[in-house]
Structure 1
Amino acid sequence: MGWELMRRFFFDPTLRDGDIVFLSDEESHHIAKVLRLKTGDVIEILDGLGAVFRAVITSVGRQVEARIEEIITREATVGKSVWVWQAILKGEKMDTVVQKCTELGVTGLLPYQSSRCQGKFDQVQGRKKYQRWQRIGLEACKQCRRLHAIHIDAPTSYAESLKKRSDDDGVLRLLFWEEEKTTRLGDIPEIRDAASLALMLGPEGGFTREEVELARLSGWRTVSLGDRILRAETATLSAVAIVQFLAGSL
Structure 2
Amino acid sequence: MPLHFLLDGAGAGAGAEVSDAGPGDPVTLTGAEAHHAAAVRRVRTGEQVTIGDGRGTWLSGEVESVAPREVIVRISSRADVPAPTRRLVLVQALAKGDRDELAVQAATELGVDEIVPWQAARSVSRWDAAKAQKGRDRWAGIVREAAKQAHRAWVPEVGALATTAQLSALAASAVVLVLEPNAEEALTSLALDDREDDVVMVVGPEGGIASDELDALARGGAQLVRLGDTVLRTSTAGPAALAVVSAAIGRW
Give the alignment's TM-score, normalised by structure 1: 0.79
Partner residue in 1 for 2:112: 106
Alpha-carbon distance in 2 for matches of 1:122, 1:14: 32
* Ranges in structure 2 where 5+ consecutive residues have no aligned partner: 19-27
Report the CA distance shift for 1:54/1:237 in structure 2 as closer, same or farther (over 3 A). closer
Partner residue in 1 for 2:195: 194
Partner residue in 2 for 1:19: 16
Partner residue in 2 for 1:172: 175
Alpha-carbon distance in 1 for matches of 2:206, 2:30: 35
Alpha-carbon distance in 1 for matches of 2:131, 2:242: 27
Q: CA deviation at 1:137?
A: 1.7
Alpha-carbon distance in 2 for matches of 1:132, 1:57: 33
Asked if 1:137 is matched to 2:143, the reply is yes
Candidates 6, 31, 42, aligned match of 1:10: 6
Q: Aligned-pair RMSD on alpha carbons?
A: 3.1
Report the CA distance shift for 1:156/1:202 in structure 2 as closer, same or farther (over 3 A). same
Q: CA deviation at 1:214?
A: 1.7
Cα distance per residue 1:48-97 (max 9 Å; x no partner): 122211356789677x5856634333322436421111111222212211
Counterpart amino acid of 1:183?
Answer: E
Asked whether the 8 Å contact 1:83–1:198 carries over to 2, the reply is yes
Counterpart amino acid of 2:125?
Answer: G
Partner residue in 2 for 1:203: 205
Report the CA distance shift for 1:166/1:186 in structure 2 as closer, same or farther (over 3 A). closer
Alpha-carbon distance in 2 for matches of 1:61, 1:125: 35
Counterpart amino acid of 2:111?
Answer: G
Counterpart amino acid of 1:95?
Answer: E
Q: CA deviation at 1:160?
A: 3.7
Partner residue in 1 for 2:217: 215
Alpha-carbon distance in 1 for matches of 2:105, 2:211: 30
Asked whether the 8 Å contact 1:79–1:249 carries over to 2, the reply is no
Give the alignment's TM-score, normalised by structure 2: 0.78
Asked whether the 8 Å contact 1:174–1:223 carries over to 2, the reply is yes
Q: CA deviation at 1:41?
A: 7.8
Cα distance per residue 1:139-188 (max 9 Å; x no partner): 2222222221122223333334445x5664xx2111112332x2112332
Count of aligned positions: 240
Report the CA distance shift for 1:219/1:23 in structure 2 as closer, same or farther (over 3 A). farther
Q: CA deviation at 1:125?
A: 3.2
Report the CA distance shift for 1:42/1:89 in structure 2 as closer, same or farther (over 3 A). same
* Ranges in structure 1 where 5+ consecutive residues have no aligned partner: none
Partner residue in 1 for 2:23: none
Asked whether the 8 Å contact 1:12–1:47 carries over to 2, the reply is yes
Give the percent of matched residue pairs that are identical in Structure 1 and Structure 2.
28
**Bigger Cα displacement from structure 2, 128-137 vs 29-38:** 29-38
